């Protein structure tokens, strides 16, 4: 095999999902929701299939979905994008990320990403011949904060792109307005393009608000904003994502994307176009459910002696495994299904730097309430 795929092996999500299947353990690993999708959305997608919406959509995406995405960005963030040329529909956020990195990076370029980070980032950079440079998030009590000095010192003359992910996987962190301001200033100063992955934009808890970096001064022109329907509507298998940005950057992403998949999922795109207009009402209900599951899991982990960190958003929370006598999250996660009947994901799978902490483990709470309750009981019994 070519050098670019060597060492990539099988993703940790595949490995842990297989382990859950084999052992029958409660699966709090991969971020696959067990929660229902909007009934109207499911009806609409079936109707679109039966009505014959089954051939290629335009490569840039189904027109009504591009319009709905543009309307969403304007309504929520006050950002105007032209659905003709500034919005591109992709095969999930994953393809948007890979296409953006292919479009923006030349071999030898460097991409900054906060460490830990989603595992598709280093892989995407590698396909582009670029290198991801990890900027550690600093532990601060039960949460994580930007280390502005570490960020500044990571910039080199080869830095081209800053990859941001807020709300963040795996920490559940939401970058504050102040942190976004520091990041934006640095990107303006060094002429960096920002690729911001906001797939959890609607899943922010405790009444907090997600802010988008493209809305800061001087940032719209240098930012590609990525999101996806998967998490917002519990349809991760549909793989419909999108990217918004200035026309020149979006055109470059589209140039790569058209030769990866060309286009995908016409009936899904058609149904989502209608659903996105009503996202606020739907997401308010989903947030209530997820926040409740987060609280159950967080309290349960604490009772089991696995100190939880605070998840402000998203699907995941992390815990410190050292009180159980482990320092290696990978070993902990391999033994957890037999020791406790639960599957989790080692944060190490998201680490960029070899000296990043190895004692953190990620649990997902986008599961049915009875799954979360049963996992908690098992963890407490095994403690
Ligand atoms: N970005 C982050 C931060 C994620 O957690 C995920 C996982 N689902 C993705 C991107 C991928 O999104 P999609 O399924 O839309 O490709
Ligand atoms: N985003 C999901 C997670 O972090 C998994 C997506 C995948 O399996 N690639 O668990």
Whole-number percent of the chain with pLDDT over 70: 100
pLDDT classification of 198: cutoffs 50, 70, 90:
very high
Ligand nearest to the CA of 29: 2
Cα separation, 198 vs 203, in Å, equals 10
How many C-beta atoms lie closer than 10 Å to residue 365's C-beta?
28
Ligand 2 — pocket residues by CB below 6 A?
13, 30-31, 169
Mean per-residue pLDDT, 367-379: 98
* Predicted pLDDT at 23: 93
Picking from 181, 359, 227, 204, the residue whose alpha carbon sits closest to that of residue 288 is 204
Mapping DSSP to helix (H, G, I), strand (E, B) and coil, where does residue 161 land? strand
**3-37+281-382 and 39-277 have identical folds:** no
Residue 13 is predicted with a pLDDT of 87
CATH 3.40.640.10 fits 39-277, yes or no: yes
Closest CA to 362 of 323, 336, 383: 336
Sorted by where each begins, the domain ranges of the chain are 3-37+281-382, 39-277
Measured in Å, residue 119 CA sits from the centre of ligand 1 at: 10
Distance of alpha carbon 47 from alpha carbon 65, whole angstroms: 16
Q: Tell me how far apart the alpha carbons of residues 11 and 14 are, in angstroms, rounded to a whole number.
A: 5
pLDDT, averaged across the chain: 97
Distance 345 CA to ligand 2 centre (A): 10
Atom 7 in ligand 2: residue holding the nearest Cα: 13
- The kind and range of the H/E element at 378 are helix 369-382
Nearest Cα neighbor of 165 from 120, 218, 221, 104 is: 120
Ligand 2 centroid–CA 12 distance in Å is 9
CATH-assigned architecture of domain 3-37+281-382: Alpha-Beta Complex (3.90)
Q: From residue 378, how far is each of 174, 335, 337, 343, 346 by CA, in Å?
A: 30, 14, 10, 11, 18
Distance separating alpha carbons of residues 242 and 91, to the nearest angstrom: 8
Instruction: Give yes or no for residue 7 having a pLDDT over 90.
Output: no
pLDDT at 12 over 90: no
Give pLDDT, residue 286.
98
pLDDT at site 11: 83
For residue range 250-276, what is the model confidence (pLDDT) as tens digits? 999 999 999 999 999 999 999 999 999
The string of DSSP codes covering 225-287 is: EEEEHHHHTT-GGG--EEEE--HHHHHHHHHHHTTTTS---HHHHHHHHHHHTTHHHHHHHHH
Q: Is 245 in the pocket of ligand 1 (CB under 6 A)?
A: no
| CB atoms near residue 360 (< 10 Å) | 23
Instruction: Please state the rounded mean pLDDT for residues 358-379.
Output: 98
Averaged pLDDT for residues 348-352: 95
Centre of ligand 2 to C-alpha 31, Å, is: 5
pLDDT at 340 over 90: yes
| Nearest CA owner, ligand 1 atom 8 | 31
* Average pLDDT over every residue of 176-189: 98
């Amino acid at each position: 095999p070519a050098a670019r795929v060597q060492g990539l092996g099988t993703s940790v999500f595949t490995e842990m999902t297989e382990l859950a299947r084999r052992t029958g353990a409660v699966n709090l690993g991969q971020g696959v929701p067990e929660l229902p999708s909007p009934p109207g959305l499911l009806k609409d997608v079936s109707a679109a299939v039966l009505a014959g919406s089954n051939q290629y959509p335009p490569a840039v995406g189904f027109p009504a979905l591009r319009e709905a995405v543009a309307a969403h960005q304007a309504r929520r963030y006050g950002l105007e994008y032209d659905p003709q040329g500034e919005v591109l529909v992709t095969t999930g956020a994953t393809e948007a990320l890979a296409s953006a990195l292919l479009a923006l990076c030349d071999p030898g370029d460097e991409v900054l990403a906060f460490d830990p980070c989603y595992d598709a980032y280093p892989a995407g950079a590698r396909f582009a011949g670029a290198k991801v440079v990890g900027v550690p998030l600093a532990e601060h009590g039960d949460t994580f904060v930007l280390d502005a000095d570490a960020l500044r010192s990571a910039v080199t003359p080869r830095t081209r792109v800053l990859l941001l992910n807020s709300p963040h996987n795996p920490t559940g962190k939401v970058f504050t307005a102040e942190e976004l301001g520091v990041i934006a200033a640095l990107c303006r100063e060094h002429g960096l393009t920002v690729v911001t992955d906001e797939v959890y934009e609607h899943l922010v808890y405790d009444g907090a608000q997600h802010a988008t970096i493209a809305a800061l001064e001087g940032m719209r022109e240098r930012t590609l904003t990525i999101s996806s329907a998967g998490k917002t509507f519990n349809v991760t298998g549909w793989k419909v994502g999108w990217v918004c940005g200035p026309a020149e950057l979006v055109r470059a992403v589209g140039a790569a994307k058209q030769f990866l998949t060309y286009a995908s999922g016409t009936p899904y795109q058609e149904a989502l176009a209608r659903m996105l207009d009503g996202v606020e009402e739907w997401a308010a209900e989903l947030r209530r459910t997820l926040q409740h599951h987060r609280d159950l899991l967080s309290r349960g982990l604490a009772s089991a002696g696995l100190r939880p960190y605070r998840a402000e958003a998203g699907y995941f929370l992390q815990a410190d495994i050292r009180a159980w006598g482990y320092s290696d999250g990978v070993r902990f996660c391999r033994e957890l299904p037999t020791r406790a009947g639960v599957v989790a994901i080692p944060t190490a799978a998201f680490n960029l730097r070899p000296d990043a902490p190895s004692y953190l483990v990620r649990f997902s709470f986008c599961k049915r309430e009875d799954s979360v309750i049963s996992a908690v009981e098992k963890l407490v019994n095994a403690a």
